[in-house]
Amino acid sequence: MLLQTAEKTGRILYNEEISEGIYRMGIEAPDIAQEAGPGQFVHILIDDGAYLLRRPFSISGVTDGGIELLYKVKGMGTGIMRKMPAGGMLDVMGPLGNGFDVIGGRTAVVGGGIGLAPLVYLTQRLDGDTDVYLGFNDKPFALDCFDGYDVSIATMTGACGYRGDVTKLLSEKLRERTYDRIYACGPKAMIKSLKRITDRLGIPAEASFEESMGCGLGACMVCSIMVADGGSRTYKRVCKDGPVFDLDKVEM
């Protein structure tokens, strides 16, 4: 469902480091919380002194009157954001974009690194039997968000769980398990690998794409990707047409 709403001001409820460079932020934003669906995002204005572009953040949770974000400190903007105290105010636009189709049955969610953020809220909304596959470079984080689910972990260093890529772990599990649908979010290389698996096995899959955005409203076309549409190929905007797409339609 597509919901494009006006910018709002939200009060920071908490902003805590849960792992090295990984933060969990709660924002009091009742209007956004009421409208937000799994896979949608918010656009936050951060004045870093250099430029005033908004940053997109997936909605990782919805509480009574608020939303939760999981974010990784990557650059100047998130570096400023991590220092924002509880009680401070944020300029928040959202919820934006088209989210996941929440369909029951036996499902798997596959997350890579901070790409697990939108999958937290999705998993909470899914009915039926859900398995969780999470991939990290080294140290896992935010595992408490998936308490109560069958969670399989892969790390590239072998520090925890399966050694290697999370899609290879999934591929091995698929020799003994079947799924009605797979949901994913993570680095493009992970999504591309997952697409090869789901295309080969004919498993319906949806993926949330992580792309750099400018306006966040579909005007600038910065975040476009190639998608098959009605027998032709066309560019779709991740911010407005996505960020979630049927994986079998995406050209990678």
Cβ contact 81:72 at 8 Å: no
> Which pLDDT score, from 0 to 100, does residue 1 have?
36
> Domain 100-204 class?
alpha beta
11 Cβ partners below 8 Å, 6+ apart?
A: 27, 28, 87, 88, 89, 90
**What is the 3 state secondary structure string of 19-78?**
ECCEEEEEEECHHHHHHCCCCCEEEEECCCCCCCCEEEEECCEEECCEEEEEEECCCHHH
Q: How is the chain split into domains, by residue range?
A: 2-96, 100-204, 209-252
Each residue's pLDDT tens digit in the chain (252 positions)? 334 444 578 999 999 999 999 999 999 999 999 999 999 999 999 876 666 678 899 999 998 899 999 999 998 889 999 999 999 999 999 999 999 999 989 999 999 999 999 999 999 999 879 999 999 999 999 999 999 999 999 999 999 999 999 999 999 999 999 999 999 999 999 999 999 999 999 999 999 998 777 666 767 777 888 898 777 888 888 988 999 999 999 998
Distance in angstroms (rounded) separating the CA atoms of residues 204 and 210: 20
> Which pLDDT score, from 0 to 100, does residue 6 have?
47
Per-residue pLDDT tens for 25-36? Answer: 999 999 999 999
What pTM, to 2 d.p., does this model score?
0.92
Per-residue pLDDT tens for 222-243? Answer: 788 889 877 788 888 898 899 9
45 Cβ partners below 8 Å, 6+ apart?
A: 7, 52, 54, 90, 91, 92, 93
Distance in angstroms (rounded) separating the CA atoms of residues 107 and 134: 14
> Which pLDDT score, from 0 to 100, does residue 51 have?
61
CATH number of 209-252: 2.10.240.10
Give the Å distances, CA to CA, from 242 to 41, 51, 157, 246. Answer: 10, 25, 32, 10
Distance in angstroms (rounded) separating the CA atoms of residues 65 and 54: 23
Architecture of domain 2-96: Beta Barrel (2.40)
Helix ranges (H only) for the chain are 30-35, 76-81, 117-125, 166-173, 188-201
Q: Mean pLDDT for the chain?
A: 91
> Which pLDDT score, from 0 to 100, does residue 224 have?
87
